[in-house]
């Protein structure tokens, strides 16, 4: 199937990009702002926020993909991030990723996002047969999803990792851990690395660990994402014009 063009898709909830930190000092400033916020809130409110916990996940270097499932649990749309509000409909392209479930055991409209990636194995296999070899894994993934020729997408043999529910008409999640348990239970491919940290020392240790194993992975990452675990704290912190205040991406050199 070769499509004439991409149609636009308006996401049900905005896909935010993340603020970036390139030093532990910047992470410390962010962490201190969060501590101050939680302490101030708890001083002035009866309902207390829990102590801060950060969930660390790898920052995949591919192409963001947003999947929409209807109230029958059927995949009805896959879209790129685009502007964060409007993306491109890549439903047929996404369906070439075998690990994406076409139906899930969930009966309310929901949007789940993740990252489409190309593994080194898929990249090498493709390049061994391609007339025009791909330059890198990221271009391989992005070029495949944004290809109007579905056969070409399928040839790239993409993979994906899912890590966020952006829109949910069902029961709300209390924590990021609960959200990730749901994503796994629904059969989405997820990365096994998911660490809860309570101190900046723990965060630093994990960042060092990921930086060490980075080049042993069979896909590309360019950093670590830190996100607050408690959803109520996230909602109270809210967003700036551009970024959520409750998450930050630590970028490697």
pLDDT in tens, 121-140: 999 999 999 999 999 999 99
Res 1 pLDDT > 80: no
Task: Return the pLDDT at 223.
Answer: 97
| 59 catalytically annotated | yes
103's CB contacts (< 8 A; 6+ apart) are 72, 73, 74, 75
Res 65 pLDDT > 80: yes
- CA 15, CA 2: separation in Å to the nearest integer? 28
Res 2 pLDDT > 90: no
> Taking a C-beta distance cutoff of 8 angstroms, is the pair 139, 122 a contact?
no
DSSP string, 63-128: EEEEEEE-TTSBEEEEEE-TTSSEEEB-HHHHTTSTTS-SB-S--S-EEEEEEEE--HHHHHHHHH
Taking residues 165-184, report their average pLDDT: 98
Residue 121 parent element (H or E): helix 120-129
Residue 178: how many other CB atoms lie within 10 Å: 14
Task: Return the pLDDT at 210.
Answer: 98
Res 246 pLDDT > 90: yes
Catalytic residue, from 20, 36, 59, 205: name it.
59
Taking residues 107-112, report their average pLDDT: 98
Nearest-5° Cα angle at 94, 150 to 64: 125
């Amino acid at each position: 199937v070769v499509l004439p063009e991409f149609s636009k898709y308006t996401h049900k909830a905005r896909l935010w990009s993340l603020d970036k930190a390139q030093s532990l000092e910047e992470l410390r400033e962010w962490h201190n702002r969060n501590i101050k916020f939680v302490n101030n809130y708890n001083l002035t409110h009866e309902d207390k926020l829990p102590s801060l916990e950060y969930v660390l996940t790898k920052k995949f270097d591919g192409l963001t993909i947003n999947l929409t499932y209807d109230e029958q649990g059927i995949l009805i749309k896959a879209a790129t991030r685009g502007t964060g509000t409007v993306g491109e409909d890549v439903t047929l392209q996404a369906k070439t990723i075998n690990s994406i479930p076409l139906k899930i055991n969930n009966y309310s409209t929901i949007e789940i996002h993740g990252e489409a990636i190309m593994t080194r194995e898929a990249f090498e296999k493709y390049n061994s047969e391609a007339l025009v070899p791909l330059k890198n894994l990221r271009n391989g993934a992005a070029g495949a999803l944004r290809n109007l020729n579905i056969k070409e997408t399928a040839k790239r043999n993409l993979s994906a990792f899912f890590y966020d529910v952006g829109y949910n008409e069902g029961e709300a999640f209390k924590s990021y851990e609960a959200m990730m348990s749901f994503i796994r239970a629904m059969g989405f491919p997820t990365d096994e690395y998911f660490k809860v940290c309570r101190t900046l020392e723990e965060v630093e240790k994990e960042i060092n660990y990921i930086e060490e194993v980075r080049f042993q992975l069979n896909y590309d990452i360019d950093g670590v994402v830190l996100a607050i675990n408690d959803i109520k704290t996230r909602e109270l912190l809210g967003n700036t014009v551009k970024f959520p205040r409750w998450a930050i991406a630590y970028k490697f050199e």
